[in-house]
A and B are shown apart, each in its own frame.
Chain A
């Protein structure tokens, strides 16, 4: 069974009398250790799919299972517990807590786990080291550059050793040079630490760092072949 198993997923939004269906009967498997990028025009449901995998949104139909747990059946509190233990989320706009230092921001997810203080410290230090920010641990978000903030966000997403990390346009608010640094970092996390990554991006260059590239359009997911990037293959409808 795939690590992420999505079946017949449908999400509708109502805007007055109009019904928008960004996702319709979507099927998708993501294997353990995959690095998946999701591309597509604006409003095609990329972030919605990410939110449904994360359990911060609920589908109208279909199921999402992660590592055998059907997250679409969990209550809001159960989902919170599940996310704390199994999911890392990298936001486009970093979303660090401004009153907390980089260290404290990274520590937030592990505060929710039954870990000793020493183990928490060890994990936070490792996560900050992994993103190359050990020397910025005591800095507040306002004292960091955009790229550094995003690296703190990445450290926060991986610190609890989640089964899957989702990233919603992680380079969307960064300049080209910083974007490249983040791309390299994400690739390293996937290759060296074996972290399963699902990344939404608008940028085809960023999408190409993923081992598996998906295109989402008109509610359907298509896969771009690894061997021929110009070929777009429908894998689900």
Chain B
């Protein structure tokens, strides 16, 4: 049974790392060290100014990913934590 357990564990790890590698969205916004990033609130404020209703903000790679709704449509906005420039807009 040891072999079985090892095989199952290997399979599970392989699947998880595999799916993580495949979950490849937009994620390169800045090379700046995380300690000197601007606060997420600033990115959200920028999205609000642009007319989006902000739902959630996540850190995706070196980007701030802001979930915004505008005129009934769904968007993911990718801001650079360095200068809060909008790097990428993805309609969902």
Genuine A/B complex: no
Q: Mark B residues whose CB is within 8 Å of A.
A: none
